Amino acid sequence: MNPIIRTLSAAAVVALGAASLPALAQNAGEVTVYTTREPALIQPLLTAFTSRTGTKVNTVFVKDGLLERVKAEGERSPADVLMTVDIGNLVDLVEGGVTQPVKSRELTSAVPPQLRGVDDQWFAMSLRARVLYADKNLALKDIHYENLADPRWKGKVCIRAGQHPYNTALVAAMIAHDGEAKTEQWLRGVKANLARKASGGDRDVARDILGGICDVGLANSYYVGQMKAAKEGTDARKWGDAIKVIRPTFDNPRSGTHVNISGASVARHAPNKAGAVRLLEFLVSEPAQALYAQINFEYPVRKGVALDPIIGSAIGELKIDSLQLAEIARHRKQASVLVDKVGFDQ
């Protein structure tokens, strides 16, 4: 199904299922959200929040420079909620001094400890897993991320640029698990196994598997839903049908699949802090989490919420890596330096 049609369908679900939404205190007023996500991706959720609470939500799309904008606005900033993608971007907001801690039983009970800030200045709203796309005819059932440096994959690996945030987050997680020296060795091994230059996007990995350029590659889970939901006969659908998806883990019995997030914080000078907290609480409620899954093919952060059927069938439930995302973010500068050191993108 076309993503736009899915968004409209989700809006209809909101209208039909409003009675099942959690009871929230009515609040006449407004909440302003600064978001680096395309507003259309979250609009059905915000519409549902307004319907339930009477609180109007203003969205301001900030493609680049979110931290710089909020810092420049200072105490005059109209932002109540700051919403972005990638753990590194959330940590930057916290370290930049533009967020504030939130005390909310609803948030801490719904969002696992590793998916929120240690001082509750940010919370994950949805998850995307870094999974393996593989040729559907390949006899492969499981894999560790570390295995991609094995010479058996020489000339068979496709991946987007190592300096892309999706990949620097994975490299940072590798550092946290295996240390910097082993991660450097791993990066060199993966680079030696590349079928083409590390470039393009995640869907290009599936495209190049279909084209016989590579056998496997790392990419985000939600693109699987986008491709497999595309109209029959389109290029995207052909790419999606050409792959099977494997959930890698790190070479550690206690590890799981690496995830990154979309998340949100309450702005430090939020004019409507109470409304901002209510919005975040709504976004982790069961109905809202179900919409995240339906609209964007993302994994819910709240346990017990059903996956989109396409994701459930193609990938299934995740065992999420137990590392604190904040710990992973701590290594992202090291990760970026290593990517350049080994010339991964050259």
Q: Count CB neighbours of 4 within 10 A.
A: 9
Check whether residue 33 and residue 90 sit in a common domain: yes
The verdict on residue 346 lying in a domain is no
User: Where do runs of H (alpha helix) occur along the chain?
Assistant: 3-16, 39-53, 66-73, 87-95, 105-110, 165-178, 180-193, 202-210, 222-228, 235-241, 273-283, 286-296, 309-314, 325-330, 332-341
Exposure string of 198-216, with b = 16+ CB inside 10 Å and e = fewer, is bebebbbbbbbbbeebbbb
Residue 61 neighbours by CB under 8 Å, 6+ apart: 35, 36, 38, 39
175 and 88 belong to one structural domain: no
Q: What is the CATH number of the domain that holds 71?
A: 3.40.190.10
Q: 251 in a domain, yes or no?
A: yes
Pairwise CA distance, residues 199 & 208, whole Å: 12
Q: Please check whether residue 60 is in contact with residue 34, taking contact to mean a CB–CB distance below 8 angstroms.
A: yes
201 shares a domain with 282:
no
**pLDDT for the residue numbered 28:** 54
DSSP bridge pairs for 29: 55
- Domain co-membership, 264 together with 119: yes
Q: Are residues 121 and 163 in the same domain?
A: no
Same domain, 200 and 325: yes
Rg (CA), the chain: 20
164-193 burial string, b = 16+ CB within 10 Å, else e? Answer: bbbbbbbbbbbbbbbeeeebbebbbbbbeb
CA distance 153 to 137: 16
Domain hosting 223: range is: 129-257+317-341
CB atoms near residue 161 (< 10 Å): 17
> pTM here?
0.90
Q: How far out from the chain centre does Cα 205 lie? A: 18
Element (H, E) at 56: strand 55-61
CA distances from 23 to 269, 277, 281, 338 (A): 27, 14, 11, 49
182 located within any domain: yes
Where do we find the tokens 């609803």?
106
Tell me, yes or no, whether 199 and 289 share the same domain: no
Along the 346 residues of the chain, how does pLDDT read in single tens digits?
444 445 445 444 444 344 444 444 444 589 999 999 888 888 999 999 999 999 999 999 999 999 999 999 999 999 999 999 999 999 999 999 999 999 999 999 999 999 999 899 999 999 999 999 999 999 999 999 999 999 999 999 999 999 999 999 999 999 999 999 999 999 999 999 999 999 999 999 999 999 999 999 999 999 999 999 999 999 999 999 999 999 999 998 779 999 999 999 999 999 999 999 999 999 999 999 999 999 899 999 999 999 999 999 999 999 999 899 999 999 999 999 999 999 999 9
Q: Are 61 and 35 members of one domain? A: yes
Specify if 263 maps to a domain: yes
Same domain, 210 and 329: yes
Mark whether 134 and 122 lie in a shared domain: no
Indicate the number of domains in the chain: 2
Residue 312 within any structural domain of the chain: no
Residue 108 falls inside a structural domain: yes
Structure tokens at 90: 């959330």
With H, G, I as helix, E, B as strand and everything else as coil, classify residue 133.
Answer: strand
Whether residue 47 is contained in a domain is answered as yes
Residues whose CB falls within 8 Å of the CB of residue 289, separated by 6 or more in sequence, listed in order: 126, 283, 300, 301, 302, 305
Q: 116, 98, 100: which is closest to 108 by C-alpha?
A: 116
Q: Are residues 23 and 106 in the same domain?
A: yes
Spatial contact of 81 and 276, defined as CB atoms under 8 Å apart: yes
Classify 246 as helix, strand or coil.
strand
**Do 123 and 205 share a domain, yes or no?**
no
DSSP-assigned letter for residue 64: S
